[in-house]
Structure 1
């Protein structure tokens, strides 16, 4: 039985809204043709890769930004969006690799926890390929990939009718000062980092 295909879509550097628009189109496409575990030879979705073209703060299903905070962040010149993913507030911007898998988990024979674990493993492997050997996934509520108490990759997903959206954000050469204006993912007492900061060299998204 042939494994359902997953399309790789490289968008380059694009506005965050463009990524969300393409994600929504793939969601509608998969929802229009519900899959089953017995499906074979069909498309199971897409991996959408991009680098955000500008600064964006996003809030998840649990909120994370008050109206006053939203106004303050917009005054910095950033876009602010409320999304349907899990988690609280985070930042996306240039120098960051975003991967949004829009997948029908039934067609791939996966459960949601397996999907999240695969995202964490992928981010850990990307760090290792750049020479960063200490990146690790942690237990909830510390979803994502960490170096001690410094998060290098945030993960937030949505799953409805077995179809996933949103995904991971790996800091390559992200300007980390943007994170100083929020409590990333609502985790007080933790920090953020990037491949460039840890490796003491400039790591671009294109190197991933």
Structure 2
């Protein structure tokens, strides 16, 4: 099976430091850039090497504020110190996601993506496709993807994924995916080098939205950030324990409340990431490529790539692989 007929999905199952995840991304980007450079040089009698496999990296990072390329070197020391202050502790929130808010100091990282400052953290699904837009060949895109079309695909995949939760997402004149004219649920920030993509989408699933109170997210004054969990809470009322006492929707049945809670619980990052990738694959290639899905702990960049090397040969004749 050739690399051109494959799409790889690599999901880091554990909450991963942002710098580690971007180091993995950068390695995939370098593979594409090296291949393009090699392809422009004379080969003499040597056959060209196989092209790199398009890869979508998904993960949830430890809390980090990231800036775009327009803000490189522009944050003052006082601003950085403010951003690094831990959020006030919320008693009883020592779980996997909210536990990071209790005494955890966020990182601040500069990046080369487009857009302005935003927050990535636990409870957020970060999606980084790494592919050569000009090498994308499909019935829908026979000449490859333009940057504008690529942005539309990212937004459409996110909108379609939200539909499975009964959430209506849409585009506005501002980048990202919105659920109202003032509430954004997914941010977009991209970087292109020789048509090779990096960075991508940050979809808020059950993110602690208090982190956004410290910034003007993406530089958009007067706009708010929401999440899948927040939208389900607004639509279906409060949890079962508080529903009768607090909810104004007195006609709402216990079954509806239970369904809402189940939807939130099922928003597991692994399954959600797979759903998004399937949407992206369909929008770009349809059934013309096979999806390889791999899940790793992401404890180190070396561990990730050693595992990929181990499975590369085994994957040649497989449509799907995982660990």
- After superposition, where does 1:29-68 map in structure 2 within 5 Å? 29-34=31-36, 42-52=51-61, 54-63=62-71, 65-68=75-78
- After superposition, where does 1:137-176 map in structure 2 within 5 Å? 137-139=171-173, 142-148=174-180, 149-176=182-209
Task: Tell me the residue number matched to 1:23.
Answer: 25
- 1:106 deviation in Å? 1.1
Question: Are 2:88 and 1:87 aligned?
Answer: no
Distance in 1, Cα, partners of 2:209 & 2:8: 31
Select the structure that is richer in helix.
2
Equivalent pair of 2:35/2:52 in contact (CA under 8 Å): no
Task: Tell me the residue number matched to 2:170.
Answer: 136
- 1:4 deviation in Å? 4.7
Select the structure that is richer in strand.
1
Distance in 1, Cα, partners of 2:229 & 2:57: 23
Structure 2 residues not aligned, in runs of 5+: 40-47, 87-104, 137-143, 234-260, 273-323
- 1:180 deviation in Å? 0.2
Please identify the structure whose Cα radius of gyration is greater.
2
**Runs of 4+ residues deviating >6 angstroms:** none
Distance in 2, Cα, partners of 1:68 & 1:51: 27
- Where 2:84 maps in the other structure, the secondary structure is helix
- Where 1:33 maps in the other structure, the secondary structure is helix
**Alignment TM-score, normalising by the size of structure 2:** 0.59
Aligned residues between the structures? 201
- Where 1:189 maps in the other structure, the secondary structure is coil
- 1:181 deviation in Å? 0.5
CA RMSD across the alignment = 2.0
- After superposition, where does 1:103-122 map in structure 2 within 5 Å? 103-108=131-136, 109-122=144-157
Counterpart selection for 1:205 from 243, 250, 269: 269
**Alignment TM-score, normalising by the size of structure 1:** 0.90
Task: Tell me the residue number matched to 1:10.
Answer: 11
